[in-house]
Amino acid sequence: MNDFMKKLIIYYFCFVLSINIVLCQKQNSESDKKTQKIKSISQTQISNDWKLVDLDSFSFILPESMEDKKARGIDSSVWRFESDDIKLVIDSGMYKVTFPDAEDFESSTKQVVVDKIKGQYFAINYSKPKSLEAEIDEKDKQKPYLEAIVFKRNKYLFSSFWVQYKNPNQKEIAEKILYSIKFKN
Q: What is the 3-state secondary structure (H, E, C) of the chain?
A: CCHHHHHHHHHHHHHHHHHHHHHHHHHHHHHHCEEEECCCECCECCCCCEEEEECCCEEEEEECCCEECCCCCCCEEEEEEECCCEEEEEEEECCCCCCHHHHHEEEEEEEEEECCEEEEEEEEEEEEECCCCCCCCHHHHHCCEEEEEEEEEECCEEEEEEEEECCHHHHHHHHHHHHCCEECC
If you average pLDDT over every residue of the chain, what do you get? Answer: 79
Kindly tell me if the per-residue pLDDT of 20 is higher than 80.
no
Of the ranges 19-33, 73-87, 150-164, which one carries the lowest mean pLDDT score?
19-33
Kindly tell me if the per-residue pLDDT of 38 is higher than 80.
no
Where residue 151 falls among pLDDT bands split at 50, 70, 90? very high
Query: Which pLDDT score, from 0 to 100, does residue 18 have?
Result: 54
Where residue 36 falls among pLDDT bands split at 50, 70, 90? very low
Query: Which pLDDT score, from 0 to 100, does residue 31 have?
Result: 35
Query: Which pLDDT score, from 0 to 100, does residue 127 have?
Result: 87
Per residue in 101-111, pLDDT (tens digit) is: 888 899 999 99
Please give the share of the chain, as a percent, with pLDDT higher than 70.
73
Query: Which pLDDT score, from 0 to 100, does residue 24 have?
Result: 46
Higher pLDDT, 58 or 11: 58
Please give the model's pTM, rounded to 2 decimal places.
Answer: 0.71
Higher pLDDT, 60 or 32: 60
How far from the centroid of its chain's Cα atoms is residue 68's Cα? 14
Residues in CB range of 90: below 8 A, 6 or more apart? 77, 78, 79, 80, 159, 160, 161
